[in-house]
């Protein structure tokens, strides 16, 4: 994230200075946000950057060990500089988290700069990220001689494309308070594509293995049956292949939208940011959950040999499963989606336009269309989207009733969870069908195969949640 954060949050001059050095490998960067005691709660970060007008510098400080930067990829051994999130303090006022470039080690001898204690946090679960030096850093504060021990950086080491601090310490806020969130969204966008490709690789390995592996039921020539011929194996692996396609296709589309948003943000236009935030949250939760579960299912489908590291599947699981936690814990992000959809519901009830164009499925709460489902119509893309849209809309309406009845927000996390997954599945299926529509013009020979993959994803989601059966019955009647 070092490069994209500087590109999106730094001025043109800052981007040229730091990225030119990074491209020459004169410096090695990392992104330092998470702390020992704060991860998803960015507002609660404890590291401070206090502006000193006398020297035109920021003083970077971690008040105690709980504020140590933790889990930072590349920090343990390799990084010479960090793009660091810290609380900006000027004229004794805290303006919240902002981004600074902070030297960690000398690029010449790699010794930590004065005032910085840095090291590797050690092995990770399942042996994942074994080659990544996740580090910890504590910028130490000496209460006797703070100026000597605190780390000082020039004022222009604060990334100032949007928010700025003058030589006199005057703070100039960004035009839009959420402009700095754009670079954080980038990491969630990349998780969706990573989820798809890792599941694709794992399911490919498992299908190929189960095709060549034979067990039981020998024929008249003594040749045993292929493992893939057993229904329990096909039912586990084939949907994972289809899910991988769904994730990859949606990842491509989400990345395109992100690039458009990034270009808009450079002009201080945050129009796309709310939608990108909500959709990337939903996709990250769904993709991380389904892909990590799917990769593990691939391992199990391969029997004992799947547990061997030489299968190639275990590495994908160990490396990807922490995606359920980093860049926002899944159960925290789903609350973001739930809250956003409640706002859209409020707009609907007040006759106002939606802020999110992907929330138009809420219209069914007013129109209440009848959807007839049978063995033939269930394969109709329009019927499928209507079903998934109505499910998501009813879940949002239910959350609205729960909140209106007085349930505290902290008590409706599971309702938000269901909305988050339903919203993601609606978007995944819509993207699948959009791809089919485009292929009809460009490569019609692929349409039957891709449509079948879309149907598999549809049916998998239909049967994944037990509550959906009740909704299907309601719609049919």
Q: Rounded distance, CA 150 to CA 183, Å? A: 28
H/E stretch holding 153? strand 151-154
327 assigned to active site: yes
Helix crossing, 381-404 with 467-476: angle to 10°? 110
Q: How far is CA 8 from CA 74, 97, 250, 270, 459, in A?
A: 21, 16, 23, 13, 40
What does the DSSP assignment read for 373-427?
--TTGGG-HHHHHHHHHHHHHHHHHHHHHHHHTT--GGG-HHHHHHHHHHHHHHH
Q: Rounded distance, CA 1 to CA 3, Å? A: 6
- Out of 275, 297, 327, 425, the active site residue is 327
Tell me how far apart the 2 most distant CA atoms of the chain are, in Å: 91
Whose tokens are 């011929």? That residue is 229
Among candidate residues 146, 127, 471, the one with its CA nearest the CA of residue 319: 127
Q: Rounded distance, CA 217 to CA 251, Å? A: 42
* Four-point Cα dihedral 283, 469, 364, 459, nearest 10: 50
What's the angle, vertex CA 356, arms to CA 350 and CA 362, rounded to 5? 55
How far from the centroid of its chain's Cα atoms is residue 98's Cα?
21
Helix crossing, 273-301 with 330-349: angle to 10°? 140
Q: Are 159 and 6 in contact (CB under 8 A)?
A: yes
Q: Are 136 and 121 in contact (CB under 8 A)?
A: yes
Lookup: tokens for 164: 């700025």
Radius of gyration of the chain from its Cα atoms, rounded to whole angstroms: 25
Return the active site residues: 327
């Amino acid at each position: 994230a070092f490069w994209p954060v500087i590109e999106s949050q730094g001025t043109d001059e800052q981007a040229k200075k730091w990225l030119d050095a990074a491209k020459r490998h004169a410096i090695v960067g990392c992104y330092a946000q998470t702390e020992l005691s704060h991860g998803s709660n960015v507002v609660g970060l404890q590291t401070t950057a206090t502006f000193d007008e006398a020297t035109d510098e920021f003083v970077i400080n971690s008040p105690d060990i709980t504020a140590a930067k933790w889990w930072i990829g590349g920090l343990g051994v390799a990084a010479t500089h960090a793009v660091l999130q810290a609380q900006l303090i000027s004229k004794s006022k805290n303006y919240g988290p902002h981004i600074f470039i902070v030297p960690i080690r000398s690029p010449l001898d790699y010794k930590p700069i004065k005032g910085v204690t840095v090291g590797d946090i050690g092995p990770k679960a399942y042996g994942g990220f074994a080659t990544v030096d996740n580090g910890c850093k504590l910028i130490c504060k000496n209460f006797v001689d703070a100026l000597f021990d605190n780390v000082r950086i020039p004022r222009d080491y604060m990334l100032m494309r949007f928010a700025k601090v003058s030589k006199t310490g005057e703070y100039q806020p960004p035009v839009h308070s959420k402009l700095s969130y754009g670079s954080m969204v980038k990491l969630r966008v990349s998780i969706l594509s990573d989820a798809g490709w890792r599941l694709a690789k794992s399911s490919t390995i498992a299908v190929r293995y189960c095709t060549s592996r034979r067990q039981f039921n020998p024929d008249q020539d003594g040749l045993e049956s292929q493992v893939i011929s057993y229904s329990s194996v096909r039912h586990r692996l084939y949907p994972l292949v289809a899910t991988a396609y769904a994730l990859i296709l949606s990842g491509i589309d989400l990345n395109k939208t992100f690039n458009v948003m990034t270009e808009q943000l450079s002009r201080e236009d945050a129009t796309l940011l709310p939608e990108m935030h909500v959709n990337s949250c939903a996709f990250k939760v769904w993709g991380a959950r389904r892909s990590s579960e799917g990769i593990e299912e691939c391992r199990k489908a391969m029997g004992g040999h799947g547990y061997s590291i030489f299968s190639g599947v275990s590495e994908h699981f160990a490396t990807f499963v922490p995606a359920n936690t980093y860049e926002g814990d899944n159960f925290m992000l789903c609350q973001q989606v739930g809250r956003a959809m409640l706002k859209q519901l409020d707009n609907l009830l007040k006759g106002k336009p939606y802020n999110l164009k992907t929330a138009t499925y809420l219209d069914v709460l007013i129109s209440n269309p009848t959807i007839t489902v049978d063995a033939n119509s269930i394969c109709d893309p329009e019927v499928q989207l209507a079903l998934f849209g109505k499910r998501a809309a009813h879940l949002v309406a239910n959350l609205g009733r729960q909140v209106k009845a007085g349930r505290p927000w902290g008590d409706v996390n599971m309702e938000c969870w269901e909305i988050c997954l339903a919203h993601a599945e609606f978007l995944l299926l819509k993207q699948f069908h959009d791809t089919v529509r485009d292929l009809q013009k460009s490569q019609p020979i692929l349409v039957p195969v891709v449509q079948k993959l879309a149907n598999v994803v549809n049916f998998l989601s239909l049967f994944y949640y037990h509550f959906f059966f009740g909704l299907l019955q309601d719609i049919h009647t």
